[in-house]
Amino acid sequence: MTTAADAPRSAPHTATTETLADLSEGAVLGRIFPRLPTAAAQLLGPGDDAAVVSAPDGRFVVTTDMMIQGPDFRLAWSTPHDLGWKAAATNLSDVAAMGARPTALVVAIAAPPSTPVVVLEGIADGLRDCCEALAPGCGVVGGDLSASDALTLAVTAFGDLEGRAPVLRSGARPGDVVAHSGLLGDAGRGLELLFRLGVDANGVPNLDRANALKLSHPTEVAAQLTPVPPIASGPIAALAGATAMLDVSDGLAIDAGRIARASGVGIDFDSASLGDRIEVALGGGEDHGLLATFPPGAVLPAGFRSLGTVVAASASHAGMITVDGSPHDQGGWDPYRGWDGAAG
């Protein structure tokens, strides 16, 4: 882990044209760390070989995700602040999906030496604003800074189960209510709009066209670029007795199929609960809502609404997704097969 131990905690530089190559690693870190939020669980923060974080109940939840310029984001569409926000939000959502409260992040960033320092400052601000908005008390306890050709963010997030059992994907039982907290389909629709209309005549991502989309379709574009997952819903669902839960990252149908397969059941969605665009609701990825199952008759916690029911399935039909009782083709995307606008 690299540290800012050698650098002043605030630096005198203000020029926006300064690049990473102009400064030492210590000086860059000295510009970034003061912008990052301190974690309430931090026992030892940046400045040594490693950080030390509190784990009050003797366990910690951990998840990691990498975002890379090109496959995962385009700088013509996302601001640095957007990138920091999304990198935090998607990881916090995985922690929340276990029923845990997010406590801390570590963040590794690789960037070309020609990157303006203000880009890293913007990423830091996005990380901070996301933590403060969605998981107050969660902060950045350490990180790493490297050189690369493509801007890359690797975030690892931690959470506290507060003495509870983790909510797994495998606990859904026939008769359980299937409920969801968050948006459905907006992020996928936003990405489809960006790919179709946020590009120039040659299909290259274009800043002006993306900005026009942000005005014409603010909900969908924001859902894609700066998602606001319902982080607080995770621990609330656990306290309310959720039997299974996950973060909906690859689309409702695919992710419901994961709960159903892990639990050896089927899931039947009620079409009336899926809005006007059923295929968009079922197929759109990157919404980062929480899909959970609750025992029959449970009072759903605030933020969750019922979408259907867990049904019994024979071993060969475990994982089957139906809508009003009719089988649904799950479709979806794969990171090595690219985005499929039609299916996902």
Residues with Cβ within 8 Å of 159's Cβ and at least 6 positions away in sequence, in order, are 60, 61, 62, 95, 96, 98, 100, 101, 102, 103
CB of 44 to a second copy, least distance (A): 6
Q: 120 or 274: whose CB is closer to a second copy?
A: 120
By DSSP bridging, strand 265-269 and strand 321-323 are parallel
Q: For a second copy, which residue of 4, 29, 89, 98 counts as binding (CB under 8 A)?
A: 98
Which pair of structure tokens corresponds to residue 237? 């669902």
Q: 20 or 184: whose CB is closer to a second copy?
A: 20
CB of 12 to a second copy, least distance (A): 19
CB of 279 to a second copy, least distance (A): 22
- Reduced 3-state DSSP string for 129-162: HHHHHHCCCCEEEEEEEEECCCCEEEEEEEEECC
CB of 331 to a second copy, least distance (A): 13
CA distance 269 to 279: 12
DSSP class of 307 = E
Q: For a second copy, which residue of 262, 298, 318, 343 counts as binding (CB under 8 A)?
A: 262
Q: Which amino acid is at 24?
A: S
Q: Give yes or no for a contact between 252 and 298, defined as CB atoms under 8 angstroms apart.
A: no
1 in contact with a second copy (CB under 8 A): yes
Q: For a second copy, which residue of 113, 136, 296, 325 counts as binding (CB under 8 A)?
A: 113
Stretch that binds a second copy, among 93-101, 190-198, 203-211, 292-300 (CB under 8 A): 93-101
Measured CA distances, 208 to 75, 120, 144 (Å): 12, 22, 33
Residue 334 is assigned to a ligand binding site: no
CB of 263 to a second copy, least distance (A): 11
Q: 263 or 309: whose CB is closer to a second copy?
A: 263
Q: For a second copy, which residue of 59, 196, 277, 305 counts as binding (CB under 8 A)?
A: 59
Instruction: Could you list the residues known to form a binding site, using ranges.
Output: 49, 63-65, 72, 94, 143-144, 169, 247, 249-250, 286, 333
